[in-house]
């Protein structure tokens, strides 16, 4: 563990949730101690309500290091990239502002990383309100290893409870800004990010010990159906990105084909159709609104404190892969555990 750096950076993106945000922040301040310490990064994703004032007040009185920064553009993936740029921890954890992590959440994340040393992990996401619809949750109590260069199903690890090592970020860069909430694809940025890490040579793990309770508030009915359909669009966008890469093309085509065939046999015609629409939206977005992904390989440790509402630092942008937005090949030394033999700039990859 490096001196002057916290062990964990917890990154939370928020938008117009002032009425419930204080309860969420108070919950975080009650976390059990984390070996090596931790910091909180709150990214205000262009809120228009009382969110900035609430975050600023909390940052002034919090007993934990808090960095508050305002994202200049919308979209969850972009906001998470801003959070990464502001972070200083060796382990970067992500949750949502409508979640309530268990008080041992960060300690459990560190425990899993110390035991298994994977590049990325995810944990349980349970319902906070049992009357809410069962969307945006993953209440599985059996751990699962995720080997490098394998297919990762959408929802295997949720963005509400995921963490990556600093080395992963240095290797693969930031989240894809064409995916996720705030884009036409609606979802998929979390799974795509972890799959990109896996295809760059990193192993992962789903572990039930880190737990968050998701309070999304959607009851069974139209809202829940709309949310589930949004996941279909994001899944199609995620699939097409890995179909475009020659290294993962066969794996993803096979899984996509059999999943679509199963849906059609069970008369779920809408799901594969929405996946195709999501794929088309992703390709259209990349074509007409090209936006390179940021890299963080030369990132320096930020100052110990930030003023609430500060604008994000600029970070270098770099396109991924053989095509704009596609994946980059990264080689991994098979003699060494879960990560690539070394980290390097994306434009130095062969």
Instruction: Express each pLDDT in 256-300 by its tens digit.
Output: 999 999 999 998 999 999 999 999 999 999 999 999 889 997 555
Residue 139: CATH number of its domain: 3.90.550.10
- How many CB atoms are closer than 10 A to CB 4? 7
Q: Could you read off the pLDDT of 138-169 as tens digits, one per residue?
A: 999 999 999 999 999 999 999 999 999 999 99
Q: How many domains does the chain have?
A: 1
Q: For residues 32-54, give the mean pLDDT.
A: 92
- Domain-embedded: residue 277: no
- Is position 49 within any domain? yes
Q: What is the pLDDT of residues 307-347, one digit of tens each?
A: 444 444 433 233 333 333 333 333 333 333 444 433 333 33
Whether the Cβ atoms of residue 219 and residue 267 lie closer than 8 Å to each other: no
Stated pTM of the model: 0.84
Kindly tell me the sign of the dihedral angle through the C-alpha atoms of 273, 275, 281, 283.
Answer: negative
pLDDT for res 4: 57
The predicted structure's pLDDT at residue 61: 87
Report yes or no on 317 lying in a domain.
Answer: yes
Residue 253 maps to a domain: no
Largest CA distance in the chain: 57
Q: Does residue 257 belong to any structural domain of this protein?
A: no
- For the chain, first and last CA: distance in Å? 31
Q: Is residue 249 part of a domain?
A: no
Q: How confident is the model at residue 48 (pLDDT cuts 50, 70, 90)?
A: confident
What's the pLDDT band for 101 if we cut at 50, 70, 90?
very high
Residue 303 has which token pair? 């100052």
Residue that wins the pLDDT comparison between 78 and 345 = 78
Query: Considering the domain boundaries, does residue 62 fall inside one?
Result: yes
Give the domain range for residue 35.
Answer: 8-218+292-348
State the average pLDDT for the chain. 86
pLDDT at 161: 98
Long-range contacts made by residues 279-282, C-beta under 8 angstroms, separation at least 24? 279/236, 279/237, 279/239, 279/240, 281/184, 281/185, 281/233, 281/237, 282/178, 282/179, 282/185, 282/236, 282/237, 282/240, 282/241
Residue 280 lies in a domain: no
Most confident listed range (18-22, 274-278, 300-304): 274-278
């Amino acid at each position: 563990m490096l001196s002057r750096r916290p062990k964990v950076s917890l990154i939370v993106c928020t938008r117009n949730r002032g009425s419930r945000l204080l309860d969420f922040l108070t919950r975080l301040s009650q976390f059990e101690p984390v070996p090596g310490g931790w910091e909180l990064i709150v990214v205000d994703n262009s809120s228009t309500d009382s969110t900035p004032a609430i975050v600023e007040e909390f940052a002034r009185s919090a007993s934990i290091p808090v960095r508050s920064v305002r994202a200049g553009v919308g979209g969850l993936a972009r906001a998470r990239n801003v959070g990464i740029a502001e972070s200083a921890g060796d382990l970067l954890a992500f949750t949502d502002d409508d979640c309530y992590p268990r008080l041992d959440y960060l300690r459990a994340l560190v425990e899993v990383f110390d035991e298994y040393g994977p590049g990325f992990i995810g944990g349980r996401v349970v319902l906070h309100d049992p009357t809410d619809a069962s969307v945006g949750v993953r209440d599985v109590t059996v751990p699962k290893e995720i080997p490098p260069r394998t297919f990762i199903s959408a929802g295997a690890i949720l963005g509400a409870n995921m963490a990556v090592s600093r080395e992963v970020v240095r290797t693969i860069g930031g989240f894809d800004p064409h995916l996720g909430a705030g884009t036409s694809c609606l979802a998929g940025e979390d799974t795509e990010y972890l799959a990109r890490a896996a295809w760059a040579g990193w192993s992962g793990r789903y572990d039930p010990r880190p737990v968050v309770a998701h309070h999304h508030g959607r009851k069974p009915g139209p809202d829940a159906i709309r949310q589930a359909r949004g996941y279909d669009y994001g899944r199609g966008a995620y699939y097409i990105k890995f179909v475009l890469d020659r290294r993962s093309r066969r794996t993803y085509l096979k899984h996509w084909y059999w999943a679509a065939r199963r849906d059609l046999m069970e008369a779920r015609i809408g799901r594969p159709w929405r996946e195709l629409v999501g794929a088309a939206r992703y390709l259209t977005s990349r074509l007409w609104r090209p936006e390179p992904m940021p890299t963080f390989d030369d990132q320096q440790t930020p100052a110990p404190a930030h003023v609430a509402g500060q604008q994000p630092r600029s970070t270098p942008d770099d396109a991924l892969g053989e095509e704009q937005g596609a994946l980059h090949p990264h080689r991994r030394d098979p003699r060494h555990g879960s990560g690539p033999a070394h980290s390097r700039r994306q434009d130095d990859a062969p």
